[in-house]
Structure 1
Amino acid sequence: MTAPRPDFPMHVSVQEAREMLAALLPAPTTETVPLAEGRGRTLAADLAARVSHPSATESALDGIAARAADTLTATPAAPIRLRVVGESRAGASFSGTVGPGECVRIYTGAPLPPGADAICPVEQLREEGPDHVLLVRPASPDDVRHEGSDFRAGEMVLRAGQRLTPARVALAAALGHAELPVRRRLRVALLSTGDEVVLPGQPLRPGQVYDSNRYGLQAMLEECGCEVLSLGHVPDSPAALEEAITAAGGADVLLTSGGVSMGRYDFIRDLLIEHGRVAFWKVRMRPGGPALLGGWKGLAVFGLPGNPVSSLVVFQVIVRPVLTGQPVSTLRLRAATPFRGLHDKTAFWRARLREGRVYDYGQQGSGVLRSLSEAEALVIVPEGSGVQAGEEVEVLLLA
C-alpha cells in the first residue's frame, strides 16, 4: 500500500467534507425550463404570484350561500326556511344580491354572491319545493374562501434554492408561471469498482457480490435531479481505472464506489495520491469513514466506500446536500433506546420510528444493506457523546 503523503487533510469532519466538495464543483448556472419539466429541479430565482388565489371570494363546499345572520337558530327540530333566488357556479356566477331570507345555490369554487357571507352544505339542507330549502344547521362563514387567502398578486411565494417537489410545481402553475428559472443539472459520472463485483443476474462465485452500489447511487443521483453518466464497473486495475476516469472528462464530478480504504487493492486512493490530487482522505463518521475527495486532470472525484451501507450513508449525509444545494433537514425526537457514541467519530445509526419516538434498528454493520430499506431514520450521535433512553436526539429522516 502506498503511504499517504502528509500534504492533505485526514479525518475531516462531516461539515468540512461538505464544504470541500462544494468548493470543487462548478458555480451554479441558470437555465429556463417549461413548467412540465420542473419536477426535481432547484429554483434559481424567487417566484412571485402573478395573480391572487383564490381570485375571488368563493365557496369551499357544494350547498347554498346565505346571510349567516338569517340562519343562526337553525336546528333539525326547527329548520330555517330560505328562498332560492339563483345559483353560482364556476364560470357562471350569480349576478344579483342575496337579501334577507334568501339564498343562492352554490358549488365548490364558485364566487360568493354579494350579500352572502356563509355557506351551508348540501348535507344539511332539505328541499322544499323548487324555490325553497330548509337549513337544519346554521350556515358557516368558515366555509368561505376569501380572495387572496392563499396568496396575493405580487407576493413572493417560492424562493430561490427550493427544490421543486410535485406540490411546488403545482404551486408555480397556480402563481401563473409557464416557465421556471432553475439551476443547470449537475452532470455526475458514476463508476463502481472491485474484482468481486458482479452484475445482478449473473452467477456468483464464493466471495463475489452483486453491484448494488451502482444502482442505488444512480437512483439517488436521479432523485437529486442530476444528469448521470454511467461508466459501469471496472476491476481492481490501475490501468482500467485510469481509462475509466479519463472517460468521465465531460462531467462536473466523478462519483466512485470502492477502492478508497486501507487495502492493497484500493487503487482509486493510490491513483489520486500518486498522480492526481487529494483534498482529503477519511471522514470522522461511521459508517463511511474511508471516503476520499480529490481531483484528476481538472475533474473533481469523490470516492465512496465500497461497503453498500457506508456508500449510501456517505452519499445521504455529505454528497446529497452539496449536489442539491439543500441543507440536511433534521428534527429532534425522544430516544426510546440508547444509542452509543464514538469518541472520535460522529455516528449515524440506523433507526426505526414508532409513535414519535426513535428506536435502535439493531444491526448496524456496513454490510447489512437490508437495514437501509427497513430503517426510517439515521440517528446522529456527535463524536464523544452518547444518547440514553429518554433523551432527545437529532434524527435525519430517510426517504
Structure 2
Amino acid sequence: MHVSVEEARAMLAALLPDPGTETVAVAQALGRVLAGDLAALVSHPSATESALDGIACREADTRGAGPDTPVLLKVVGESRAGEPFTGEVGPGECVRIYTGAPMARGTDAICPVEQLRDQGLDAVELLRAASPGDVRAEGGDFRAGEVVMRAGLPLTSPRLALATALGHAEVRVRRRLRVALLSTGDEVVAPGTPLRAGQVYDSNSVGLGAMLREAGCEVVPLGHAPDRPEALEDAIARAGGADVLLTSGGVSMGKYDFMRDLLIDQGRVSFWKVRMRPGGPALLGGWKGLPVFGLPGNPVSSLVVFHVIVRPALTGQPVQTLHLRAATPFRTLSDKTAFWRATITGGQVSDYGQQGSGVLRSLSDADALVIVPEGQKVEAGDEVDVILL
C-alpha cells in the first residue's frame, strides 16, 4: 500500500499512545510540549518603570529643552531597582533613575543620562525634552491572570524564560514518548571500526538518536542488528516498555530486507512505501502490539523522512514551513512529493545541486528542504514552501 506524506503522518500518529502528562521544574522542561495553558501569576513589569538610565520628571516641565536652551531641574532623590523613591516629585523637580526602577509619584517622563548635564549634586540641566515613551507601563508585557502561553507549545529557551517570568516554578508537559531505536544491515559497523569494502558507519543511530532527543523523546537504544530474521526478533524483544520502535534499513525491496518480511509474515503492515523522494521505502506496521516505523537505511532518506513524517507525529506539532521565493527551478515529480535540499541566500532558495540519496554531506550543507508537491512545476521566481534544517 502506497500512501501520501500526509496519510503516512496521520497513520503513524494514530498508532501512538496518548503520552499523558507530568509536572516538571521549568529548568528541566527544555524541548518538552506544554500540556496546559499558562496564565500570568504576576504582572510584568510589576510597576510602572523606566526603560533607561537618566532622570524621571514631569514632561511638561521640560518642553523646549535643547542644547542651546537647557532646562534646569532640582534633583530630590533617586529611584533604583529594589529601592524606589518613596516621596513625590513636584514641579521643577526630578529624581535620578536607573533602568527597571519604579517611576516616582508625580513623574511621567524620562530624560536619558546622555542628554543631561550635572550642575552639582542637587541640580541637572536637560539638553532635550523628557519622553513619556521611555516609561514602561505596569503590566505592559502581561498582566496577572492573563493567559500568555497555550497548551501545545514546544518549550524553547525563550518560552522557558517567559514561563518563569509569569511566576511558574513548574509546568505541566506531555510525558516523553519512549522510542526504541534500532539500526540494521550487515554493511553497517560502529564508528571507529576499520571499514572493509562496502561497509558504512552507523550514522543513522547517531543522527536519529539526536533528532529524537531534540523532539523531546526518551531514546531506548537497541544498537545494531545484522540482516538475519532471528537477530531482528531478538533486538525487537529488547524494546519492552517502548511506545514505538523506530528502525532504519531492511524495508526496501532487496533480498535481504528482512525487517519488511518479518512484519509482513509475523506482524502487521499498515503501509509500505510513501509517495515522496527521498525516502519512499518507508514502512508502518506493528509487532506484538508495538507500533513499528521502518525508515530507509540510506541516511539522507532516513533523516528526511524523520523530518517530515516521524517528528510531527511524535510531537503533535505540524511541520513548520516558510514561504520563500525560488532563485532556481526545482525538479517536478509526477507521482511523488519531492523534498529537495536547498540553500538560502538573501531570502531566496536555490537548488543545492546534488540531490542523490547517497550525498549525506548535503543535509549538513543545505539550509532547507524545498517542498515540491506531486506534479507541481516550480520555476525561478515562484513562491515555495520550505522546511528549515
Q: What is the TM-score of this pair, normalised by structure 2? A: 0.99
Identity across aligned pairs (percent)? 76
Quick one: which of 332, 341, 346 aligns to 2:332? 341
Give distance in 1, aligned partners of 2:269 and 2:20.
Answer: 26
Give distance in 2, aligned partners of 1:128 and 1:346.
Answer: 72
Aligned residues: 389
Say whether residues 1:73 and 2:64 are aligned partners: yes
Q: What is aligned with 1:46?
A: 37
Give structure 2 stretches of 5+ with no counterpart.
none
Quick one: which of 222, 225, 230 aligns to 1:234? 225
Q: Please list, as runs of the form range in 1=range in 2, the aligned pairs for 1:279-298 lying within 5 A after superposition.
A: 279-298=270-289
Say whether residues 1:380 and 2:338 are aligned partners: no
Give distance in 1, aligned partners of 2:251 and 2:366.
Answer: 26
Give distance in 2, aligned partners of 1:165 and 1:173.
Answer: 12
Q: What is aligned with 2:92?
A: 101
Say whether residues 1:11 and 2:11 are aligned partners: no
Quick one: which of 193, 199, 205 aligns to 2:184? 193
Deviation at 1:261, TM superposition (A): 0.6
Per-residue displacement from partner, 1:147-178 (whole Å, max 9, x unpaired)? 11100111101111111111111111111111
Deviation at 1:13, TM superposition (A): 0.6
Deviates more, 1:309-318 or 1:27-36: 27-36
Deviation at 1:240, TM superposition (A): 0.2
Q: What is aligned with 1:169?
A: 160
Say whether residues 1:259 and 2:247 are aligned partners: no
Query: Which amino acid in the other structure matches residue 249 of structure 1?
Result: G
Give distance in 1, aligned partners of 2:158 and 2:210.
Answer: 21
Q: What is aligned with 1:4?
A: none
Quick one: which of 12, 34, 51 aligns to 1:21? 12
Quick one: which of 23, 30, 55 aligns to 1:32? 23
Deviation at 1:77, TM superposition (A): 2.3
Give distance in 2, aligned partners of 1:367 and 1:74.
Answer: 69
Instruction: Write out the 4+ residue segments of structure 1 that deviate beyond 3 Å after TM superposition.
Output: none
Give distance in 1, aligned partners of 2:10 and 2:296.
Answer: 19
- Across the aligned residues of Structure 1 and Structure 2, the Cα RMSD in angstroms comes to 0.9
Give distance in 1, aligned partners of 2:206 and 2:288.
Answer: 27
Quick one: which of 131, 136, 143 aligns to 1:140? 131
Q: Secondary structure at the match of 1:339?
A: coil
Quick one: which of 40, 45, 55 aligns to 1:64? 55
Give distance in 2, aligned partners of 1:375 and 1:335.
Answer: 15
Q: What is aligned with 1:273?
A: 264
Deviation at 1:333, TM superposition (A): 0.7
Q: Secondary structure at the match of 1:12?
A: coil
Query: Which amino acid in the other structure matches residue 218 of structure 2?
Result: E
Query: Which amino acid in the other structure matches residue 226 of structure 1?
Result: C
Query: Which amino acid in the other structure matches residue 252 of structure 1?
Result: D
Deviates more, 1:28-37 or 1:277-286: 28-37
Deviation at 1:92, TM superposition (A): 1.2
Give distance in 2, aligned partners of 1:256 and 1:50.
Answer: 44
Give distance in 2, aligned partners of 1:339 and 1:386.
Answer: 8
Q: Secondary structure at the match of 1:318?
A: helix
Say whether residues 1:389 and 2:380 are aligned partners: yes
Say whether residues 1:364 and 2:355 are aligned partners: yes
Q: What is aligned with 2:102?
A: 111
Give distance in 1, aligned partners of 2:182 and 2:353.
Answer: 31
Q: What is aligned with 1:7?
A: none
Q: What is aligned with 1:248?
A: 239
Q: Secondary structure at the match of 2:273?
A: strand
Deviation at 1:352, TM superposition (A): 0.6
Quick one: which of 153, 172, 176 aligns to 1:181? 172
Q: Secondary structure at the match of 1:340?
A: coil
Q: Secondary structure at the match of 2:331?
A: coil
Give distance in 1, aligned partners of 2:63 and 2:342.
Answer: 53
Deviation at 1:78, TM superposition (A): 2.2
Query: Which amino acid in the other structure matches residue 262 of structure 1?
Result: M
Deviation at 1:72, TM superposition (A): 2.4
Query: Which amino acid in the other structure matches residue 352 of structure 1?
Result: T
Give distance in 2, aligned partners of 1:19 and 1:212.
Answer: 27
Q: What is aligned with 1:308?
A: 299
Query: Which amino acid in the other structure matches residue 236 of structure 2?
Result: I
Q: What is aligned with 1:131?
A: 122
Deviation at 1:88, TM superposition (A): 0.6
Query: Which amino acid in the other structure matches residue 29 of structure 2?
Result: G
Per-residue displacement from partner, 1:67-105 (whole Å, max 9, x unpaired)? 112222222222221111111111111112222211111
Deviation at 1:28, TM superposition (A): 2.7
Give distance in 1, aligned partners of 2:15 and 2:194.
Answer: 40
Give distance in 2, aligned partners of 1:216 and 1:179.
Answer: 31
